[in-house]
Structure 1
């Protein structure tokens, strides 16, 4: 495997924004196709902490409807959920016709943080790795398109991002005690990752591994793969024309508005 020094230079912002615009336009076309054909799509994002999952999801969703591209980011399971079948709390968020459900972390928590941190037993971990491909076969056979991304960030880049979060009040919320523990247990997570990828990479639900040291390239590569995986074409739409405003039942809305109290405008 080539070293990190062999990686291409970071993508420039201007080039990134130009390519992102093209892909986001195509995502809007995909959105219409998914709605028209009542497709059901799951896109799940896994990866190391600070690998760029949140930024990639934002790049996918910022120009499309949240009613079609629905983000699912579940908190830690409640006491009740801990007694359920493991995938049960995720399945209630699966897409209906015309929806794309994007999972920011997923049922693969069992193969990652739960396994490494001891929140599940070794037997539960082995059982998950054994049953997961069968469950995903059922999902795919039911007609759901399943796309699985693993974002992989290098040790040095992860450390740089963690240190940036420590110093930035706008990003400190991203750094939890679980994140700092994952930083300490780098190699434990590496072993867990390799076990997971080996056991759950299947023909019907393959893993797509994306290098994310360069966040911009990673985002573009993820979006491009989604667009390539979900066969679609542009749906022609009637040109929208604004109608003439009617003066019937004319109402002095501005005069009434001026009599209302507004919060002081500071900017």
Structure 2
């Protein structure tokens, strides 16, 4: 790689981002560092467009829901952080609901999600959503077969009502390989700053891989509709996945691309 460096590559490596990329990981990897600088430049341009999208939503009183599903360690949280880190925090929320309470379990399943829906001019990112009942809950025995069937019978009508009410809905599924998931779990376990991320469900994810796959396919078959489609993002490479996520959101919502920011 050293013999193939262009003047442009050298300028990238001599930048603040390039030097940080070179020195932040061992062993020294010039090619990886150049890719990271390119990624950061792409990300900055896309984040400017996200600000434009948010300003459009604020000015037009639009409501936007973006939901993220995917296997454990697929990079949902990282993608949401890149989406949200530059936009106005007063007009966005990240929703990651905990285990339902006793009262919530007695309610209509969708109710606690509806309570988190955006107000005018707001973007809400769901880090996992009502689709937990399509995959995570049946795989782990957190719902009955009847509850699962009711959900699958209601979810398309539920989303049709969301769209008919004027809310923009974007559904993203982050997809990783079994090998990549295992690698990320090992990294989490060995990093004291990330160990808190590992849950009991994560511990069983590799063993239950095939069951997750079965329910995931059923979810896509039933809920990948013309009016509310899924976008599957290949996420084995985190930086590429984040760029693709933002591009898809910008393409999915008809915001004013000429709006001044």
Query: Given the alignment of the two structures, is residue 236 of structure 1 paired with residue 260 of structure 2, yes or no?
Result: yes
CA distance in 1, matches of 2:152, 2:225: 12
The structural deviation recorded for 1:181 is 1.2
Contact 1:130–1:199 (CA under 8 A) maintained in structure 2? no
What is the correspondence of 1:22-61 to structure 2 with a 5 Å cutoff? 22-61=45-84
The question of 1:15 aligning with 2:38 is answered yes
Determine if contact 1:115/1:122 at 8 Å carries over to the other structure.
yes
Q: Decide whether the 8 Å contact of 1:42 with 1:101 is kept in 2.
A: yes
Residue pairs, 1:96-107, within 5 angstroms: 96-107=119-130
**What do the CA deviations read for 1:43-96 (whole angstroms, capped 9, x no partner)?**
000000000000000000000112222111111101111111000001000011
- The one of 141, 157, 160 aligned to 1:137: 160
Gaps of 5+ in 2: 1-30
Q: Runs ≥4 in structure 1, deviation > 4 angstroms? A: none
Question: Aligned equivalents of 1:236 and 1:116: distance in 2?
Answer: 47
Aligned to 2:134: 111
Does the aligned pair in 1 maintain the 2:52–2:260 contact within 8 Å?
A: no
Measured after TM superposition, the shift of residue 146 of structure 1 is: 0.4
2:235 is the counterpart of 1:212: yes
Relative to the length of structure 2, the TM-score reads 0.85
> Gaps spanning 5+ residues in structure 1: where?
1-8, 238-267
TM-score with structure 1 setting the length = 0.83
Q: Contact 2:66 / 2:170 at 8 angstroms: preserved in 1?
A: yes
Indicate the residue corresponding to 2:85 in structure 1: 62
Q: Aligned pair count?
A: 229
- Superimposed CA distance per residue, residues 98-140 of structure 1 (whole angstroms, 9 cap, x where no aligned partner): 0011000000111111110111111211121111001100110
Larger helix fraction of residues: 2
**CA distance, structure 2, for counterparts of residue 187 and residue 58 of structure 1:** 29
Q: Distance in 2 between matches of 1:162 and 1:145?
A: 34
Task: Tell me what 1:85 maps to.
Answer: 108
Shift in Å, 1:12: 2.0
1:187-266 equivalence runs, <5 A: 187-233=210-256, 234-236=258-260
What do you get for the CA RMSD once the two structures are aligned?
1.4
- Give the distance between the partners of 2:231 and 2:89, measured in 1 at CA: 24
Task: Choose 1 or 2 for highest CA Rg.
Answer: 1
* 1:182 positional shift: 1.8
Give the match for residue 171 of structure 1. Answer: 194
